């Protein structure tokens, strides 16, 4: 037992950093968090929170279309573009993000964490220099350092953002009007979510995908549903189309594809991935091992290659989710401060893509089974057969469950549907606790409900031997 408080310095106040700081303070350490942009990090200020708030607005607008199939309101002319004030929507979003950032800061201060605005870097593994916005540079001794500096949008040299018409996802919230014709470059999670959102808000959207379908890394059946829905709602999806660059000319943007084709629009959103924010932190000099992509190498308890230096979140490249960043940060502090700790288990991480419908996944995936890494059986039930989905007029989607061959325990699942992010939880519980298909199937669900399809999928996986 030390006779003085352990000192912990956290670089970066996103979910990786602030959740770690809460745990460290709870375990009795003297904690300093330094953040360049504000507590909550990119997750709260520019990425998750703003995008999900925008998507909720878009869903609210789209729901009126779904309702159009259920009710007839005489005398009401519907048209989202006629009523939507994007300036006001964005103001609300930025206020929401700022308020959440303040809440996090207050929470940290309440538990005794010192919160500083500025930039930190390692001088040695046990000394950190803080260039504070409020004054001169400070040097702190640290028993434990956690690096949780996140990532930033990848910028193509041939498509430099101007913050007005050529935009990264972090620059969207100053737009006063829905882009009349938005070209989204990149059809990964961020590109697909935001393309869907602006389409729902009433804009014309062209989605440029370098692969043969959108969401290339995801369950192929789920991606097909989303691509079909996008096209049906009027989005122009261009597959096998790799963007070479983007330029602006007055109120127009021009995106050039590698095969020479050109697309014109009013705005372009670049969603071509992220790069870790690990430069200039003194990591290599302190002996911290990085990968070729610049991510910090960590093990399952968030240790780097240097004793006393931990890392969490997007700067590690483990899995770019706020939930995972937070868990890595908590694990790091529990480990560093000698508390009970379970190593990070990616097998049980639920992930959601906030398109409309949403795609939620947990556990093993179809590719694991198809490529022989997991011995399991799959059942897929379309939502169009679910009575509640029919009543709600929300028929796009499915429930897919994977059961291990032999043990019949549930090892994974995919839900595509409205609020799939809420529906995945029973599947996640089943995967985490290795429930069998029969245990899932014997649980009585609400009638009528979308979750009824999850139990029904489990019943279909029942084997009599």
Of the residues 148, 201, 336, 427, which one makes contact with ligand FAD according to CB under 6 A? 148
Q: How many CA atoms lie within 13 A of 135 on its CB side?
A: 3
15 is an interface residue for ligand FAD by CB under 6 A: yes
Of the residues 97, 125, 169, 344, which one makes contact with ligand FAD according to CB under 6 A? 169
CB of 38 to ligand FAD, least distance (A): 6
Continuous H helices in 156-219:
189-200
317 is an interface residue for ligand FAD by CB under 6 A: no
Nearer to ligand FAD by C-beta: 127 or 462? 127
Q: Token digits for 137?
A: 């540079």
Q: Token digits for 139?
A: 């040097």
Nearest Cα residue to 11 out of 142, 100, 103: 142
- Whether 22 contacts 103, CB under 8 Å: no
Restricting to residues 269-298, name those near ligand FAD by CB under 6 A: 277, 281
- Whether 16 contacts 43, CB under 8 Å: no
In the block, residue with structure tokens 């869903």? 59
Restricting to residues 40-99, name those near ligand FAD by CB under 6 A: 41-43, 47-48, 51-52
Strands 358-363 and 351-353: antiparallel
Nearest Cα residue to 316 out of 150, 118, 100: 150
Helices and strands of the chain, counted as H and E runs: 13, 22
- Secondary structure letter of residue 348 according to DSSP: G
CB of 50 to ligand FAD, least distance (A): 8
173 is an interface residue for ligand FAD by CB under 6 A: no
How many residues touch ligand FAD under the rule CB under 6 A: the total is: 37
Of the residues 7, 9, 35, 361, which one makes contact with ligand FAD according to CB under 6 A? 35
Angle of CA points 355, 226, 396, to nearest 5°? 95
- Secondary structure letter of residue 254 according to DSSP: E
The DSSP bridge partners found for residue 121 are 129
- Secondary structure letter of residue 171 according to DSSP: G
Nearer to ligand FAD by C-beta: 235 or 281? 281
Stretch that binds ligand FAD, among 117-125, 195-203, 220-228, 432-440 (CB under 6 A): 117-125
Of the residues 105, 218, 227, 314, which one makes contact with ligand FAD according to CB under 6 A? 314
Of the residues 22, 29, 120, 173, which one makes contact with ligand FAD according to CB under 6 A? 120
Nearest Cα residue to 430 out of 420, 440, 442, 443: 440
Stretch that binds ligand FAD, among 35-43, 81-89, 251-259, 439-447 (CB under 6 A): 35-43
Nearer to ligand FAD by C-beta: 44 or 440? 44
Nearer to ligand FAD by C-beta: 32 or 386? 32
In the block, residue with structure tokens 């291990």? 404
CB of 61 to ligand FAD, least distance (A): 19
- Binding site residues, ligand FAD, CB under 6 A: 11-17, 34-37, 41-43, 47-48, 51-52, 119-121, 148-151, 169, 190, 277, 281, 313-315, 320-323, 325
């Amino acid at each position: 037992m030390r006779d003085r408080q352990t000192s912990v310095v956290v670089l970066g106040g996103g979910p990786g950093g602030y959740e770690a700081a809460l745990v460290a303070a709870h375990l009795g350490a003297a904690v300093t968090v330094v953040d360049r942009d504000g507590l909550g990090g990119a997750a709260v200020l520019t990425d998750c929170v703003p995008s999900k708030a925008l998507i909720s607005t878009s869903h609210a607008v789209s729901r009126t279309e779904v309702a159009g199939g259920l009710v007839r309101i005489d005398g009401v002319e519907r048209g989202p573009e006629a009523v939507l004030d994007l300036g006001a929507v964005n103001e609300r979003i930025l206020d929401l993000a700022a308020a959440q950032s303040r809440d996090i800061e207050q929470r940290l201060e309440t538990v005794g964490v010192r919160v500083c605005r500025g930039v930190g870097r390692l001088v040695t593994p046990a000394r950190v220099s803080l260039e504070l916005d409020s004054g001169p540079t400070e040097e702190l001794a640290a028993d434990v350092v956690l690096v949780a500096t996140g990532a930033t949008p990848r910028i193509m040299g041939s498509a430099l953002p101007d913050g007005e018409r050529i935009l990264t996802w972090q620059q969207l919230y100053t737009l006063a009007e829905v882009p009349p014709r938005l070209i989204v470059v990149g059809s990964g999670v961020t590109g697909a979510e935001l393309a869907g959102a602006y389409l729902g808000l009433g804009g014309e959207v062209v989605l440029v995908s370098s692969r043969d379908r959108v969401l290339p890394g995801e369950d192929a059946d789920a991606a097909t549903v989303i691509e079909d829905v996008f096209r049906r709602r009027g989005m122009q999806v261009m597959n096998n189309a790799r963007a070479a660059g983007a330029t602006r000319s007055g109120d127009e943007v021009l995106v050039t594809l590698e095969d020479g084709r050109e697309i014109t629009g009013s705005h372009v959103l670049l969603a071509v991935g992220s790069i870790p924010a690990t430069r200039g932190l003194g990591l290599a000099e302190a002996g911290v091992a990085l990968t070729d992509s610049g991510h910090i190498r960590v093990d399952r308890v968030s240790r780097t290659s240097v004793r006393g230096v931990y890392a969490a979140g997007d700067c590690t490249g483990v899995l770019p989710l706020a939930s995972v960043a937070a868990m890595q940060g908590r694990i790091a502090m529990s480990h560093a401060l000698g508390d009970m700790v379970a190593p990070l288990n990616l097998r049980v991480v639920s992930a959601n893509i906030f398109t409309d419908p949403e795609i939620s996944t947990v556990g093993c995936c179809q590719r694991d089974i198809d490529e022989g890494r997991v011995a399991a059986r799959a059942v897929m039930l379309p939502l169009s057969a679910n009575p509640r989905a029919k009543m709600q007029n929300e028929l796009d989607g499915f429930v897919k469950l994977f059961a291990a061959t032999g043990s019949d325990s549930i090892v994974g699942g995919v839900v595509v549907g409205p609020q799939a992010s809420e529906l995945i939880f029973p599947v996640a519980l089943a995967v985490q606790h290795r429930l069998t298909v029969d245990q899932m199937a014997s649980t009585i669900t609400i009638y009528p409900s979308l979750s009824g399809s999850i139990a029904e999928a489990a019943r279909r996986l029942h084997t009599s031997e």
